[in-house]
């Protein structure tokens, strides 16, 4: 499940559950809608995500590229250890910044 809100000019997507090949389509759909903003500022709240697979890593990289093209950014917040491991192993941490709290993201 994905809950979308807007906080401080950024779209915050609260991701709930497992992100895998079965949920990538929904994530892409939500991310595509948010790319219509200019500039694109997207925060992915991963507090309740216990798993992330390669299809979602690819979706996040595509979103990052689209956001940068629109003078924006994508940031991850409250990433759980299992997901952080995938982010580190995939090299995604070099592309998308991770923060411990939403407040830190919005004030960076």
pLDDT in tens, the chain (108 residues): 788 888 988 889 888 877 777 766 776 676 665 556 566 788 999 999 988 888 888 888 888 888 888 888 999 999 999 999 999 999 999 999 999 999 999 888
Element (H, E) at 29: helix 24-34
* 27, 19 contact by CB (below 8 A): yes
Label residue 39 left, alpha or beta by phi (over 0 means left) and psi (-120 to 50 means alpha): beta
* 74, 37 contact by CB (below 8 A): no
Look up the pTM and report it: 0.85
């Amino acid at each position: 499940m994905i809950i979308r809100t807007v906080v401080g000019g950024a779209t915050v997507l609260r991701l709930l559950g497992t992100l895998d090949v079965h949920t990538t389509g929904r994530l892409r759909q939500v991310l595509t809608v948010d790319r219509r903003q200019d500039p694109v500022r997207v925060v992915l709240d991963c507090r309740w995500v216990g798993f992330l697979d390669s299809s979602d890593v690819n979706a996040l990289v595509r979103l990052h590229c689209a956001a940068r093209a629109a003078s924006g950014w994508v940031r991850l917040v409250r990433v759980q250890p299992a997901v952080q491991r995938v982010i580190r192993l995939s090299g995604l941490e070099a592309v998308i910044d991770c923060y411990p709290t939403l407040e830190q993201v919005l004030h960076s």
